[in-house]
């Protein structure tokens, strides 16, 4: 029986992309749920792993996204069970928030496009984040940030501008600020006008991401494979 992974899609325009392709290639049954369009499961019974994707929200932005209450409960269940979990951008922030860390809106440096991410010593030894090697360019797209990790979290990676780029809770729950599911090609769908308002050039961001696309893709694939390696072969339910 294949492992089953629930993927919470917090923004209908930002699905699992190549992450789903790579997990499927490993024989994983990927179960995406677009939270704005369908109810999330009330528990993780029957799932062997959890992926929480990004979105332009805060972890407790319940007025705009009522499903976040259920998503936080699922995150707490995953942390308590030490279920293989990968929180990406908002998903990583939500894990930090649930576990007692601090996330602040529009705080600190804004990171867009391909950004060098360097693992810590613990990250180089981690079963998943060791995929970055001595460092790798990963796609970033955030203006909110984790300002304090939970007390029990292990810092796994940082960028030059933002310390809390990746962390682990327990043995199998990880959050990342960057987007391993996103490639250089995905930047073409970004809002050029909004980026110009922040002082960015979409063309320049795309060109920079394309220059490091091979490195980014290889590191991202290794990271997803590392997550897949931690999944059991059978179901929980």
> Catalytic positions, please?
89, 179, 181
Structure tokens at 202: 């979409």
Spatial separation of the C-alpha atoms in residues 148 and 157, rounded to whole Å: 14
Q: Among 17, 177, 153, which residue's Cα sits nearest to residue 98?
A: 153
How far is residue 161's CA from residue 108's CA, in Å, rounded to a whole number? 8
The residues, any chain, with a CB within 8 Å of residue 29's CB and separated by 6 or more, are 2, 3, 4, 5
Which runs of E-coded beta strand occur in 66-144? 85-88, 102-104, 111-119, 136-142
Report which of 144, 150, 215, 151 is spatially closest to residue 177, judged by C-alpha positions: 144
Which of 55, 49, 10 is CA-nearest to residue 33? Answer: 10
């Amino acid at each position: 029986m294949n492992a089953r992974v629930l993927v919470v899609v917090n923004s209908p325009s930002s699905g699992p992309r190549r992450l789903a392709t790579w997990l499927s290639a490993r024989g994983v049954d990927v179960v995406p749920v677009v939270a704005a369009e369908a109810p999330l499961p009330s528990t993780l019974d029957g799932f062997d792993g959890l992926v929480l994707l990004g979105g332009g929200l805060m972890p407790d932005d319940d007025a705009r996204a009522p499903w976040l209450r259920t998503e936080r409960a699922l995150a707490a269940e995953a942390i308590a069970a030490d279920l293989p979990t990968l929180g990406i951008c908002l998903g990583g922030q939500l894990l930090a928030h649930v576990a007692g860390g601090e996330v602040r809106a529009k705080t600190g440096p804004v990171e867009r496009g391909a950004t060098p991410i360097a693992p810590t010593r613990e990250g180089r030894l981690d079963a998943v984040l060791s995929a970055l090697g001595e460092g790798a360019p990963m796609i970033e797209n955030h203006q909110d940030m984790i300002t304090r990790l939970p007390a029990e979290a292990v810092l796994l990676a940082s960028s030059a501008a933002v310390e809390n780029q990746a962390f682990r809770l327990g043995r199998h729950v990880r959050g990342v600020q960057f987007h391993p599911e996103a490639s250089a090609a995905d930047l073409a769908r970004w809002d050029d006008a909004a980026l110009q308002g922040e002082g960015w050039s979409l063309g320049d961001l795309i060109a920079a991401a394309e220059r490091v696309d091979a490195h980014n893709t290889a590191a991202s694939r290794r990271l997803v494979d590392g997550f897949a390696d931690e999944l059991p072969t059978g179901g929980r339910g």
